[in-house]
A and B are shown apart, each in its own frame.
Chain A
Amino acid sequence: MTSILAAAVLAASTTEGEEMPSVLAVPIDELIIGLIAFFVVFGVLAKLALPAIKKTLDERTNTIEGGIERAESAQAEAQKVLEDYREQLASAREEAAAIRTQAQADRSAIIEEARAEARTAAQTVTAAAEAQLAADRAQATASLTRQVGELAVGLAGKVVGTSLTDDARVRQTVEDFIADLEQQVAR
């Protein structure tokens, strides 16, 4: 480097007067002063001024990053809570729907049951009434048969002039007569 500089110094010095040193001359004392000045400034700045600001900037970065991290974790937590809530809401809705379906099924079952019960009760009542009716009719028929018999026998006795009461033969005759009557009615 020095040889190049020397050449440049020679080239530049031709235009100037003999007394004037070239602008490209590098006096060794100026060079040394320049080097010392740089190292002093560099030493003071690098050792005394800059470490403090570096530390502060790092701290600030950490603080900001920490803040961002906290915000992120808070957001994640909020998200999780929201998801939980949504999940719960969905399951509650499902449950409600299930209950509603169940209730509908229950209702038709209950209605069906009540209907069947009512039908059964009606049938029972009808059957009882019919039985009662049949019994009454049978009783009425029997009683009528007997009275008609007695009346007929009494009448016949009065006509014939003999008592025909409590005679097996008489009863047989009456029954035959009535059966004959019934046959006529039926025809």
Chain B
Amino acid sequence: MSATELITASGGLDCHLNGDNGCGFPAPGAEIFQFDAVFTFSIGSLDVHITKVTLVLVLVSVVLMAFFLYAFNRPKLVPRGAQNVGEMGYVFIRDGIARETMGKDGDKFVPFLFTLFFFIWLLNFAGIVPFLQIPVTSIFAIPVAFALIVYLTWVPLGIYRQGFIGFFKNMMFPPGVPKAMYVLLAPLEFLSNILVRPATHAIRLFANMFAGHLLIASFSVAAFYLLSASVIGILGSAASFVVAIALTGFEALIQALQAYIFTLLAAVYISGALKAEH
């Protein structure tokens, strides 16, 4: 959050602990993820709201495409500079995720997983970029969109590869289980794979980014709120500020980790669809 936003979220310039106006701690809540539409237009009956989140999403998309187009523009056999960095990313996705989960079959899915990972990572990263300061993935619709794409990739792929009956049979009736257990297991497996899996896939990313952002915002607000012309006020404010900075560093780690987890899970789902796991 920018300074003005922070002050606004903190309840105004005068809101301090032990202040004259008896201001309570203005804990930031869900409202810091709500943005007013910059402009709105309609396509048919659909109102499209262009907000700060939309603009950050577009900016991140452009930066991402521009970087890799530049990095992989006329690549050399002996890499230098941006190509070197981009290549490390590519090899990481290919060897660390695609081939790790699917073997040689994984090579076909490298572009998909590559896009997923770097797009999500950069969208997460927007949360700690000054002035952007909103992890786009903490807006639930965005993880939902990604999880939906992954879902609509592995389910049809599984049906195509294993046949409609085979796909559901392999999913709901894993071998090596006593026959009577299938009464319990089959509906559970169906539920867990078809319904819960895409939901947790989206919510895991969303909730991590949401919570992380809220935490940083809380300590930033606290640093302002605790500030007063006293030793305790200065110490409390400084401590909150330090924690906010430390959490920002921690967030940088979580952002990469969550992007990795999301992509790895996508690869695991696709791998399961390519051939029955059991």
Instruction: Tell me the complex Cα distance, A32–B54, Å.
Output: 11
Are B112 and A53 interface neighbours, CB within 8 A? no
Are B140 and A52 interface neighbours, CB within 8 A? no
Instruction: Tell me the complex Cα distance, A54–B140, Å.
Output: 33
Which residue of A has the minimal Cβ distance to B151?
Answer: A1
Which residue of A has the minimal Cβ distance to B144?
Answer: A26
Chain B residues with CB under 8 A of A21: 34
Interface window among B4-12, B86-94, B265-273: B86-94
Instruction: Tell me the complex Cα distance, A27–B46, Å.
Output: 10
Are A56 and B77 interface neighbours, CB within 8 A? yes
Are A46 and B75 interface neighbours, CB within 8 A? no
Are B86 and A53 interface neighbours, CB within 8 A? yes
Mark B55-71 against chain A: 1 for CB-CB distance below 8 A, else 0. 00110010011001101
* Nearest CB of chain B from residue A13's CB, rounded to whole Å: 10
Instruction: Tell me the complex Cα distance, A28–B48, Å.
Output: 9
The answer to whether the Cβ of B142 comes within 8 Å of any Cβ in the partner chain is: yes
A23-B30, A24-B140, A63-B77 in contact; A50/B48 too (CB < 8 A)? Answer: no
Are A1 and B53 interface neighbours, CB within 8 A? no
The answer to whether the Cβ of A166 comes within 8 Å of any Cβ in the partner chain is: no
A31-B141, A40-B61, A50-B72 in contact; A23/B210 too (CB < 8 A)? Answer: yes
Are B90 and A50 interface neighbours, CB within 8 A? yes
The answer to whether the Cβ of A30 comes within 8 Å of any Cβ in the partner chain is: yes
Instruction: Select one of B73, B115, B142 contacting A52, CB under 8 A.
Output: B73
The answer to whether the Cβ of A186 comes within 8 Å of any Cβ in the partner chain is: no
Instruction: Select one of A28, A41, A63 contacting B46, CB under 8 A.
Output: A28
Dominant secondary structure of chain A at its interface with chain B: helix
Mark A34-78 against chain B: 1 for CB-CB distance below 8 A, else 0. 110110111011101110111111011001000000000000000
Chain B residues with CB under 8 A of A22: 30
Chain B residues with CB under 8 A of A5: 144, 199
Are B210 and A27 interface neighbours, CB within 8 A? no
Instruction: Tell me the complex Cα distance, A27–B199, Å.
Output: 16
A41-B115, A56-B75 in contact; A30/B91 too (CB < 8 A)? Answer: no
The answer to whether the Cβ of A142 comes within 8 Å of any Cβ in the partner chain is: no
Chain A residues with CB under 8 A of B61: 37, 40-41
A28-B46, A29-B49, A56-B76 in contact; A46/B139 too (CB < 8 A)? Answer: no
Chain B residues with CB under 8 A of A50: 68, 72, 90, 110-111, 114
Are A49 and B141 interface neighbours, CB within 8 A? no
Chain A residues with CB under 8 A of B75: 52-53, 55-56
A21-B34, A34-B145, A37-B58 in contact; A52/B72 too (CB < 8 A)? Answer: yes
* Nearest CB of chain B from residue A1's CB, rounded to whole Å: 6
Instruction: Tell me the complex Cα distance, A42–B74, Å.
Output: 19
Instruction: Select one of A23, A25, A33, A63 contacting B48, CB under 8 A.
Output: A33
Are B140 and A23 interface neighbours, CB within 8 A? yes
* Nearest CB of chain A from residue B210's CB, rounded to whole Å: 7
Are A20 and B30 interface neighbours, CB within 8 A? yes
Are B69 and A38 interface neighbours, CB within 8 A? no
Instruction: Select one of A35, A49, A60 contacting B69, CB under 8 A.
Output: A49
* Nearest CB of chain A from residue B155's CB, rounded to whole Å: 12
Chain A residues with CB under 8 A of B49: 27, 29-30
A34-B146, A50-B72, A50-B114 in contact; A25/B65 too (CB < 8 A)? Answer: no
Q: A38-B119, A45-B114 provided; 4 other pairs, C-beta below 8 A?
A: A5-B199, A25-B140, A30-B53, A63-B77
> A: which residues have CB within 8 A of B?
1, 4-5, 16, 20-35, 37-38, 40-42, 44-46, 48-50, 52-57, 59-60, 63
10 contacts between A and B (CB under 8 A): A5-B199, A27-B49, A33-B54, A34-B142, A42-B112, A44-B69, A45-B68, A45-B114, A56-B75, A56-B76
